[in-house]
Amino acid sequence: PRGNGVRIGDGLGAARVEAVRAACEHHLGKPLLSKLLSYMRERNRMLQEGEEVCDAAFHRELRAQLGADRMEYVNALDQLSYLEMNHPAAGVAAKGQHVGPTGMPPRLVAA
C-alpha cells in the first residue's frame, strides 16, 4: 500500500485516537474534555438528523467553556470527535457518555 496515512482498522488508528485524546486531556483536563466531546456529539447528532443548529451559539458556548486562550484546542477536539466516531475500537470510553435529553438543545454546564 502507498502512503503513510493512518487507516481505520490497522491498529494505528486507535493509537492516533489515544494520542489526540491524551493531548486534549493534558491541555483541558478530563472533566472539561468529556463535557465538550458530549456537547460536540450532540451537535453532530442534531446536524445528521437535519435539525437546525446555530453555529454562532455553538462557538459562543465553546468560548465560554474554553476561554479565549484555549480556543486553539477546538480543532483537536473536533479531530478527536471525528476519530472516535470513525474508529470502532477507539473511543470505547466515550460510548456510554450521556449527552443530554434529545429534545433539548445542547448546553454545557459550567464545572
Crossing angle of helices 30-48 and 74-86, rounded to 10°:
60
List the chain domain ranges.
12-96
pLDDT of residue 59: 92
> What's the pLDDT at 107?
46
Return d(Cα 111, Cα 109) in angstroms, integer: 6
Q: What is the pLDDT of residue 13?
A: 78
pLDDT value at position 88?
A: 62
The three cell numbers of residue 1 are 500500500
Instruction: Report mean pLDDT in 10-residue bins for the chain, 111 residues.
Output: 50 84 96 95 93 93 94 93 78 40 41 41
Neighbours of 20 (CB within 10 A): 19
- CA 4/CA 79 separation, integer angstroms: 18
State the virtual CA torsion across 10, 13, 15, 21 in degrees, nearest 10.
-170
Tell me, what's the pLDDT at 92?
A: 46
pLDDT value at position 89?
60
Task: Say which amino acid occupies 98.
Answer: H
CB atoms inside a 10 Å sphere around CB 57: 13
